């Protein structure tokens, strides 16, 4: 395998909707790029990219595949990304470490839901884009219609580099306005023959050529001046203008293929080798200090690990990008993230599950190492003296949650290890051991995402599991002030236990001062504050603890014990057993015994006094409210709005986002459990959403009554 220099490397992500034909196109690229000698098929289950058991089971991609092709002295690194939005994390990873997205469009159907979703992902990450229209051989393919759809949807940035001579079952020829030649392929694909453009297509070719040159010229002042003077550009000037336009996303070139018949792929690779920006044509990536780090072969060695997978025949495979310098086999590096030392005894270039050892890999290139000692996804490894750290992949927030458990409790620990490994392989799968909910919560991008996880665990790791709806992390608080006292007294021969605590509870509101006098039952209680401490709670909100004891009724050394007892009870509110928050506690009186008083006595007295006062302070249940942003085509806006309102959602605003309508709402978490599935059903898969925690708010009375009743019944069952 040839070692490629930085200026010979181009990195490309193949993205597109489910069923657009990316896996078949991958096989065609590998064949034309000389990486394989025979193509596999999806039906045959022998393709390079869909190689995992679950992908063979489902028949489409669920993880990205790294491969390469060599063309015109360039190394083209590709990532074949899954089409389903449930596996968008793979596309985010790929787009973050590549420089261009090739968005594959089904020539039969044009702009589909998957096209829209993937375009939004590319746009959000800000990478150059080109369109690849596939399935030109299909009888339902209408190139003019698809091309017009692309321009109507994504604007005049879309410009064709080719148009078909005979789209449909007889497809084998295109007019290429970049080269101003006509290319014709054998019936079964392969290498094209090049000829002058047939006279019947000359006028159309000239029209397309002028549109392309005008757009290319707009990206450089010198090119624009020449184009205005001469109304043409040389091939080299046109290529320069297109590259510049791709970098600033002012040009979205369009090329044509029939991946099924291996027609057009060789010319597509030629075009990619010419117009796709190289690694140094793009803005330099930034390290965690915000400093730009250009891909410099002569710079200090730094590599970034972006993907981990486990392959049955070799174990853990760690994929990396060389960010600076030249990586050589046998390099001793420092893991800047974990502080450990690592030797990369062997480094490889990658083609699916195939690994080819190579002596060195230059800045900007992609490689892999196997069975490393202490490397995780997201780690940066450097040579001595280099301090770069990279962390530029930003994954979308999860949209779908389930509690997960092993059906056989003896396999719980094993399941935990498997889930941690799964998170390493797919960082959009988040795993949380919730002490509060007493559940293991797994979060992902959608129902199919978690269904795939379940398949892998049950079929690959042989652990039978079940999903349950996650419990909701409710909170409890109080709405008025209340007073209580409690005496703990116990005598059991020898030293006894004695502690008495008098306290007042009131709601804590940020910035609201504490009253000097409280009234209960016609009696006034005047406070004399000795100390006041605020304790931010790990579950949100605050506990404010006030010592207002006078005259030595309770020794100061017992105040921490009282606080401990109160904090214990804050972890289990009386209404639903949920965490309590936003409470001010004033300890104002009590009694001690010279012999029997100790820390445990005052801890128990404080805990019980707090419980009694809490029950009398108008306790209420709070529920988590989330800000939800939904993007949908305009025709589904009414249905989506009605659905959110049926989920107790409050519509906060509407707007537009490109071709989509944007809806903002506040919705209780309880009502969002199956929202990703419902939204997909309502919009035919075209809608997407994001949600972030907003606040805790009081639940409606009927909901609170239901929650209290459920908690009481549960308590009875446990008793």
In the block, tokens 């760690």 appear at 318
Does residue 125 lie within any of the structural domains? yes
Q: Are residues 502 and 432 in the same domain?
A: no
Q: Are residues 563 and 510 in the same domain?
A: yes
Does residue 640 lie within any of the structural domains? yes
Q: Could you tell me which residues come within 8 angstroms of residue 630 by beta carbon, excluding any fewer than 6 positions away?
A: 640, 644, 662, 663, 664, 665, 679, 687, 688, 689
* pLDDT at residue 249, as a whole number: 97
Confidence tier at 534 by pLDDT (50, 70, 90): very high
Q: Which tens digit of pLDDT belongs to each residue from 249-263? A: 999 999 999 999 999
Q: Are residues 599 and 639 in the same domain?
A: no
Q: Are residues 557 and 592 in the same domain?
A: yes
Q: Which tens digit of pLDDT belongs to each residue from 396-410? A: 989 899 999 999 999
**Weakest mean pLDDT among 10-19, 238-247, 492-501, 700-709:** 492-501
CATH code of residue 113: 3.40.50.300
Does residue 442 lie within any of the structural domains? yes
Q: How far is CA 443 from the centre of its chain?
A: 11
Distance (Å, whole) CA 251 – CA 271: 14
Q: Are residues 652 and 688 in the same domain?
A: yes
In the block, tokens 């990873």 appear at 93
What DSSP designation does 84 have? Answer: S
Does residue 648 lie within any of the structural domains? yes
Q: Are residues 266 and 126 in the same domain?
A: yes
Q: Are residues 629 and 613 in the same domain?
A: no
Total-model pTM: 0.85
**Weakest mean pLDDT among 169-183, 318-332, 418-432, 676-690:** 676-690
Taking the CA atoms of 172, 177, 182 and 185 in sequence, report the sign of the dihedral they define: negative
- Sheet order of strands, 347-351 included: 341-344, 331-335, 380-382, 302-311, 315-324, 366-370, 347-351, 354-358
CATH code of residue 410: 3.30.70.870
Q: Which tens digit of pLDDT belongs to each residue from 33-92? A: 888 878 888 777 788 877 677 887 777 788 899 999 999 999 999 999 998 889 999 999
Give strand ranges (E) for 220-346. 252-256, 302-311, 315-324, 326-328, 331-335, 341-344
CATH code of residue 600: 3.30.230.10
Q: How far is CA 136 from the centre of its chain?
A: 33
Does residue 214 lie within any of the structural domains? no
Indicate if the pLDDT at residue 127 is higher than 70. yes
What spatial distance separates the first Cα and last Cα of the chain, rounded to whole Å?
A: 70
Does residue 395 lie within any of the structural domains? no
Confidence tier at 464 by pLDDT (50, 70, 90): very high
**What is the total count of domains within the chain?**
5
Q: Are residues 358 and 326 in the same domain?
A: yes
Residue 454, phi then psi, degrees to nearest 5: -60, -40
Does residue 295 lie within any of the structural domains? no
C-alpha dist (Å) from residue 315 to 309, 310, 351, 372: 8, 5, 16, 10
Indicate if the pLDDT at residue 472 is higher than 70. yes
Does residue 438 lie within any of the structural domains? yes
What are the helix (H) ranges across 248-355?
Answer: 265-275
Domain boundary among 259, 275, 291: 275
CATH code of residue 362: 2.40.30.10
Calculate what percentage of the chain has a pLDDT beyond 90. 83
Pairing of strands 366-370, 360-362: unpaired
Across 165-177, average pLDDT = 95
Q: Which tens digit of pLDDT belongs to each residue from 45-56? A: 788 877 677 887
Indicate if the pLDDT at residue 99 is higher than 90. yes
* pLDDT at residue 409, as a whole number: 94
Q: Are residues 319 and 444 in the same domain?
A: no
Q: Are residues 368 and 485 in the same domain?
A: no
What are the helix (H) ranges across 430-518?
Answer: 447-460
Domain range for residue 576? Answer: 476-618
Q: Which tens digit of pLDDT belongs to each residue from 354-376? A: 899 999 999 999 999 999 999 99
Across 8-30, average pLDDT = 94
Q: Are residues 433 and 513 in the same domain?
A: no
Residue 521, phi then psi, degrees to nearest 5: 60, 35
**Weakest mean pLDDT among 415-419, 604-608, 706-710, 711-715:** 711-715
Please indicate whether residue 57 or residue 4 has the higher confidence score (pLDDT): 4
* pLDDT at residue 346, as a whole number: 96
8 Å CB contact between 542 and 534: yes
Confidence tier at 719 by pLDDT (50, 70, 90): low
Confidence tier at 493 by pLDDT (50, 70, 90): low
Q: Are residues 583 and 637 in the same domain?
A: no
Indicate if the pLDDT at residue 671 is higher than 90. yes
Distance (Å, whole) CA 481 – CA 509: 12
């Amino acid at each position: 395998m040839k070692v490629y220099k930085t200026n010979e490397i181009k990195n490309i992500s193949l993205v597109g909707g489910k069923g657009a034909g990316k896996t078949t196109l991958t096989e065609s690229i590998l064949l034309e790029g000389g990486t394989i000698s025979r193509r596999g098929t999806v039906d045959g289950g022998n393709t390079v990219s869909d190689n995992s058991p679950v992908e063979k089971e489902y028949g489409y991609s669920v993880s990205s595949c790294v491969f390469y092709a060599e063309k015109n002295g360039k190394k083209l690194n590709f990532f074949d990304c899954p089409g389903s939005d449930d596996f968008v994390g793979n596309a985010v990873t790929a787009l973050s470490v590549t420089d261009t997205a090739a968005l594959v469009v089904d020539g039969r159907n044009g702009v589909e839901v998957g096209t829209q979703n993937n375009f939004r992902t590319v746009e959000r990450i800000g990478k150059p884009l080109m369109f690849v229209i596939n399935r030109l051989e299909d009888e339902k393919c209408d190139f003019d219609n698809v091309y017009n759809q692309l321009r109507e949807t994504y604007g005049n940035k879309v410009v064709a580099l080719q148009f078909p001579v005979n789209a449909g079952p007889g497809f084998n020829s295109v007019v290429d306005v970049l080269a101003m030649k006509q290319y014709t392929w054998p019936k079964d694909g392969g290498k094209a023959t090049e000829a002058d453009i047939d006279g019947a297509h000359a006028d159309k070719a000239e029209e397309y050529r002028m549109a392309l040159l005008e757009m290319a010229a707009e990206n450089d002042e010198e090119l624009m001046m020449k184009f205005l003077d001469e109304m043409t550009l040389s091939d080299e000037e046109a290529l320069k203008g297109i590259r510049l336009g791709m970098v600033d996303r002012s040009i979205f070139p369009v090329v044509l293929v029939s991946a099924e018949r291996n027609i057009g792929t060789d010319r597509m690779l030629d075009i990619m080798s010419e117009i796709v920006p190289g690694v140094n044509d793009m803005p330099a990536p930034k390290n965690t200090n915000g400093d730009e780090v250009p891909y410099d072969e002569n710079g200090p060695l730094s590599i970034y690990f972006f993907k981990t997978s486990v392959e049955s025949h070799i174990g853990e495979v760690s994929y990396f990008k060389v960010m600076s310098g030249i990586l050589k086999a046998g390099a001793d590096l420092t893991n800047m993230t974990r502080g450990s030392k690592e030797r990369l005894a062997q480094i490889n270039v990658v083609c699916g599950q195939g690994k080819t050892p190579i002596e060195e890999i230059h800045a900007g290139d992609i490689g892999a190492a196997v069975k490393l000692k202490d490397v995780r996804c997201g780690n940066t490894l450097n040579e001595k003296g280099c301090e770069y750290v990279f962390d530029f992949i930003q994954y979308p927030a999860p949209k779908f949650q389930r509690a997960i458990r092993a059906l056989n409790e003896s396999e719980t620990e094993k399941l935990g290890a498997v889930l941690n490994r799964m998170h390493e392989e797919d960082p959009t799968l988040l795993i949380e051991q919730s002490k509060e909910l007493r559940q293991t919560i797994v979060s992902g991008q959608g129902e199919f995402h978690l269904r795939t996880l379940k398949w892998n665990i049950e079929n690959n790791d042989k652990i039978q599991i079940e999903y349950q709806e996650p419990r909701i992390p409710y909170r409890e608080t109080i709405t008025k002030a209340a007073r209580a006292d409690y005496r703990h007294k116990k005598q059991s021969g020898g030293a006894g236990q004695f502690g008495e605590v008098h306290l007042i509870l009131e709601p804590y509101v940020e910035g609201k001062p504490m009253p000097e006098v409280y009234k209960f039952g016609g009696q006034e209680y005047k406070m004399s504050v000795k100390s006041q401490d605020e304790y931010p709670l790990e579950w949100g909100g605050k506990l404010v603890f006030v010592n207002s004891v006078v005259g030595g009724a309770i020794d100061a050394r017992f105040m921490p014990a009282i606080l401990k007892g109160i904090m214990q009870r804050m972890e289990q509110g009386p209404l639903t057993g949920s965490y309590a928050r936003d409470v001010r506690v004033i300890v104002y009186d009590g009694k001690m015994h010279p012999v029997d008083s100790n820390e445990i006595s005052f801890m128990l007295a404080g805990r019980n006094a707090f419980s009694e006062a809490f029950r009398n302070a108008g306790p209420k249940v709070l529920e988590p409210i989330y800000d939800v942003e939904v993007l949908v085509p305009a025709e589904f806006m009414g249905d989506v709005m009605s659905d959110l309102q049926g989920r107790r959602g409050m519509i906060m605003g509407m707007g537009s986002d490109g071709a989509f309508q944007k809806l903002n709402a506040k919705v209780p978490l309880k009502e969002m459990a199956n929202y990703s599935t419902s939204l997909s059903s309502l919009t035919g898969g075209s809608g997407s959403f994001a949600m972030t925690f907003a606040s805790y708010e009081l639940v409606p009375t009927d909901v609170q009554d239901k929650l209290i009743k459920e908690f009481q019944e549960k308590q009875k069952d446990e008793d």
